[in-house]
Structure 1
Amino acid sequence: MAILDRLFRRGDDRAALNPLYSAVVRAGRAPHWYVEGRVADTIDGRFDMLATILSVVLVRMEASDALRAPSVRLTELFIDDMDGQLREIGIGDVVVGKHVGKLLGALGGRIGAMREGMAPGGDLPAALVRNLYRGVAPGADALAHVEARLRALAAGLAATSDTALLAGALEAA
């Protein structure tokens, strides 16, 4: 089977998305999310923040026909990263796929929540409480901080060219 895979597989074009994925990860690790934004500084909290940033980026990529295929590759990088992270914390081969499936489902939910929350008339704070804070509101100042930073990120991404985005331009994060 590996021979057939090698014969029919196109080149791995995910490498071109490494700068963007690295920028998403750096943005998700920024201390302000965990200090001013009071996102839980735990494995789950860091996943939630990474998935939220990635969701905002993927929503931006949806707006460009030229970025549809790269958005799939970016999601594949996320899946590969999560697979590796789960294995690193001791999740075994037998169940790692199930865990990755759950994480991918969570990402899909966040993409929908960010798309709706950032839309005109959308309730981004409610979406954040549900998806980033797991149903427990962090306090008005923390929520306002995260909302403002995510809206600034989305606005910055909207003004960023496709080429610059693929190169990892996420200045507002």
Structure 2
Amino acid sequence: MGLLALFRRKPHERAGFELYGAAVAAARTPWFYGSLGIPDTLDGRFDVVGLHVALLIRRLRTDPDPRGAALAQAVFDAMFADMDINLREMGAGDMSIGKRVKRMWEAFHGRCLAYEAALDAGDAEALATALERNVWREAAEAPREPAHRLARHAMHGAAALAALPFATLLRGEASFPAPLEAADAA
């Protein structure tokens, strides 16, 4: 391996960052933190970004194009590179960042498995339960109705992503639908 190989971009790196950016942009919609009452905290935002990234990764991994898995990995890599940078910007010490990112990865992975199983089964109730358990984990009382609304939004988002041509995703382009209630109010 020559020295120049160290500076070469990984396949799909740019598209992965673009897709991750689309997930972050979708997660910034005020509806999540206002109407649904998701805590507007680092953890709350991590959960909403994670949900959108999980939908993207699921879409990419299940595509018949063999490049789908590599693009899914690029989205994952972009997310956790961003998490690392954000922790550093918030002043986390170099010695603790690796452990914190690992805990975030483990939390994200567990959520992905739960969300994917519910989405694959078409089980809105199981998805709402998983979202309630994760997104509102620190709430004194379980918010069933907002969890069901978020589950409907996630299922709608998964369907919209499934309808996108793989070539669009390969270019780093993805659009998440507006929350159903927010679109109705506009």
Judge same fold: TM > 0.5, yes or no.
yes
Structure 1 residues 141 and 101, CA gap change in structure 2 (3 angstroms): same
Cα distance between partner residues in 2 of 1:73 and 1:61: 10
- 1:152 maps onto 2:156 in alignment: yes
Comparing 12-21 with 64-73, greater Cα deviation is found at 12-21
CA contact (8 A) 1:55 1:111 kept: yes
Comparing 103-112 with 138-147, greater Cα deviation is found at 138-147
Indicate the SS of the match to 1:36: coil
- CA drift of 1:165 comes to 2.4
Question: What's the counterpart of residue 30 of structure 1?
Answer: 29
Cα distance between partner residues in 2 of 1:165 and 1:7: 28
Cα distance between partner residues in 2 of 1:118 and 1:55: 11
Amino acid at match of 1:12: R
Q: Percent identity?
A: 30
CA contact (8 A) 2:132 2:144 kept: no
- 1:51 maps onto 2:65 in alignment: no
Alignment deviations for residues 133-164 of structure 1 (CA, whole Å, 9 cap, x no partner): 22646533312221111111000011111122
Indicate the SS of the match to 1:83: helix
CA contact (8 A) 1:129 1:135 kept: no
Question: What's the counterpart of residue 103 of structure 1?
Answer: 104
Aligned pair count reads 170
- CA drift of 1:80 comes to 0.8
- CA drift of 1:171 comes to 3.2
RMSD of aligned C-alpha atoms? Answer: 2.0
* Aligned residue among 143, 168, 172 for 2:173: 168
Question: What's the counterpart of residue 80 of structure 2?
Answer: 79
CA contact (8 A) 1:157 1:165 kept: no
- CA drift of 1:74 comes to 1.1
Comparing 124-133 with 162-171, greater Cα deviation is found at 162-171
Q: Which runs of 5+ in 1 are unaligned?
A: none
Q: Which runs of 5+ in 2 are unaligned?
A: 179-186
Cα distance between partner residues in 1 of 2:50 and 2:3: 31
Comparing 71-80 with 5-14, greater Cα deviation is found at 5-14
CA contact (8 A) 1:52 1:132 kept: no
Normalization by structure 2: what TM-score? Answer: 0.83
Structure 1 residues 164 and 138, CA gap change in structure 2 (3 angstroms): farther
CA contact (8 A) 1:118 1:124 kept: yes
Question: What's the counterpart of residue 118 of structure 1?
Answer: 119
Normalization by structure 1: what TM-score? Answer: 0.88
Question: What's the counterpart of residue 8 of structure 2?
Answer: 11
Cα distance between partner residues in 2 of 1:145 and 1:139: 10
Amino acid at match of 2:117: E
CA contact (8 A) 2:23 2:176 kept: no
Indicate the SS of the match to 2:121: coil
CA contact (8 A) 2:132 2:143 kept: no
Amino acid at match of 2:71: P
